[in-house]
Amino acid sequence: MASSWVPVPSESDFPIENLPYGVFKTVRGPHIGVAIGDAIFDLYAASQADLFGDAVPAGVAQAGSLNPLLALGHDSWARLRRRLLELLQSDTMDVAAQDRAQFLVKRADAQMLMPFEVRDYVDFYSSLEHATNLGKIMRPGSEPLLPNWRWLPVGYHGRASTVVVGGTPIVRPRGQIKTEAGNPEFAPTRMLDVELEIGFVTGAGNSLGEPIAADRAREHIFGVVLVNDWSARDIQGWEYQPLGPFLGKSFATSLSPWVVTLEALESHRAAVPKQEPVPLPYLRSREDWNYDIALGIELQTGKMREGGVSADVISRSNAKYLYWSMAQQLAHATSNGATISPGDLFASGTISGSEPGSYGSLIELTWRGEKPLKLSNGEARSFLEDGDTVTLTGRCEAPGKPRIGFGEVSGTIVPAR
Ligand code: MN
């Protein structure tokens, strides 16, 4: 494994093999950086010192968002990563040791901003276990999987402008909720939930009318983030038929601030589960496209925080459980000739495993509140209460391979307005 002149603590999510991109703010204003150990390598500062040569245009390295970098495309992403590896490795940095500090910012001193402007947002429904559980809960007594599920990656268009960076407080939404009498009332949701997801962001796109083949997805996908698709189940349950989720989802979606590149994930590829029936030809790809990313949901209630009690881990899942891969999702989303743009976000849908402890949402973990979670401090939860903080984590870890961590995405529920 490579080593860097930047110290990397042994348990860090961000060794030199990772180098995820984000946008951070200090007194210096929003800059692009890559995380390494407890630090951020400042691309703006490095560009000003002319460390990149022609690896990346100054206007891209000195931008306040990743969108210009996303627009450059795959070859440029690879060239910049190679140059960053050269700059950060112990034996290839061509700047004297005493001059290197100017390129680093402590992560603890930086505020993380949205890594990119989300141009368009699609959320899929690609976990077989999650779709089956939700079918059983939402439509009891009927076949849990609808007939199209095994033929296409089901998805809906979400709201790009309410995607927020981790750390942003989440205001409990109000909406129409069906009452016992059958009529709806307009009230704060009583079934506020999380969805444990990953998402990918695309770069340069296709032209209108030109689908992207599954085997060419790698040229268009820049990297992967953790996504919490906050959901109000009571609002969702009343509105979602026949056109799908709307206001039960669009109030907020949280992203992790660090974008882990596909190149960094390369050593943690995993097989896609067996697909039966065999997908139509446009959904087939030669490569295995899943990733072995251990995922977790942590919950800390307001009471736990006041008492200095650390968060409970309430679920452990893995991105490798996904039935439909990112390549299939992108091929399907463009199969009608729809275009993608730099900054488009495609989320996976809730990722659940087969065991109850691996479910990726509270509605599954508590089976719609029938089996409330018992927390370590004696409290119980069916759905989220005001003051609760939810944190999603993701990390690739396997013997002999570099650890590739995602950091975390968290959000605290604040009362309805
Ligand atoms: Mn979702």
Task: Tell me: do 129 and 275 sit in the same domain.
Answer: yes
pLDDT tens per residue across span 95-142:
777 788 899 999 999 999 999 999 999 999 999 999 999 999 988 999
pLDDT at residue number 1: 61
Note down the domain range covering 35: 21-113
Spacing, Cα 198 to ligand 1 middle (Å): 10
Residue 7 lies in a domain: no
Distance of CA 57 to the CA centre of its chain: 27
Given a contact cutoff of 8 angstroms between Cβ atoms, the answer to whether 174 and 188 are in contact is yes
Which of 140, 135, 252 is closest to 189 using CA atoms? 252
Task: Tell me: do 76 and 176 sit in the same domain.
Answer: no
Spacing, Cα 79 to ligand 1 middle (Å): 34
Residue 12 lies in a domain: no
Q: Which helix (H) or strand (E) holds 135?
A: helix 128-138
Residue 11 lies in a domain: no
pLDDT tens per residue across span 184-201:
999 999 999 999 999 999
DSSP string of 16-34, one letter each residue: TTT--EEEEESTT--EEEE
The pLDDT of residue 3 is above 80: yes
CATH code, 373: 3.90.850.10
Choose one of 113, 131, 166: the last residue of a domain: 113
| DSSP state for residue 8 in the 8-state scheme | -
The pLDDT of residue 146 is above 80: yes
- In the numeric block, the tokens 């703010």 are attached to 25
pLDDT tens per residue across span 204-247:
889 999 999 999 999 999 999 999 999 999 999 999 989 999 99
Given a contact cutoff of 8 angstroms between Cβ atoms, the answer to whether 413 and 192 are in contact is yes
Spacing, Cα 246 to ligand 1 middle (Å): 11
Task: Tell me: do 150 and 268 sit in the same domain.
Answer: yes
Choose one of 68, 87, 113: the last residue of a domain: 113
Spacing, Cα 258 to ligand 1 middle (Å): 20
Q: What's the number of domains the chain is made of?
A: 2
Residues with beta carbon < 5 A to ion ligand 1? 123, 195, 229
Choose one of 113, 146, 171: the last residue of a domain: 113
pLDDT at residue number 303: 98
One-letter amino acid at 296 equals G
Task: Tell me: do 164 and 249 sit in the same domain.
Answer: yes
Task: Tell me: do 109 and 145 sit in the same domain.
Answer: no
Catalytic one of 31, 74, 130, 157: 130
Is 220 among the residues known to form the active site?
no
Task: Tell me: do 96 and 237 sit in the same domain.
Answer: no
Residue 248 lies in a domain: yes
Task: Tell me: do 79 and 192 sit in the same domain.
Answer: no
User: 299 Cβ partners below 8 Å, 6+ apart?
Assistant: 311, 312, 314, 373, 375, 381, 388, 389, 390, 391
Residue 267 lies in a domain: yes
Residue 328 lies in a domain: yes
Spacing, Cα 319 to ligand 1 middle (Å): 14
Task: Tell me: do 312 and 371 sit in the same domain.
Answer: yes
| Helices and strands, number each (H, E), in the chain | 10, 26
The pLDDT of residue 396 is above 90: yes
CATH code, 42: 2.30.30.230
Spacing, Cα 30 to ligand 1 middle (Å): 29
Task: Tell me: do 74 and 134 sit in the same domain.
Answer: no
Task: Tell me: do 28 and 139 sit in the same domain.
Answer: no
Task: Tell me: do 347 and 396 sit in the same domain.
Answer: yes
pLDDT greater at residue 143 or residue 205: 143
Residue 3 lies in a domain: no
Spacing, Cα 83 to ligand 1 middle (Å): 36
Task: Tell me: do 216 and 257 sit in the same domain.
Answer: yes
- Is pTM beyond 0.95? Reply is yes
Given a contact cutoff of 8 angstroms between Cβ atoms, the answer to whether 112 and 167 are in contact is yes
Residue 191 lies in a domain: yes
pLDDT at residue number 410: 98
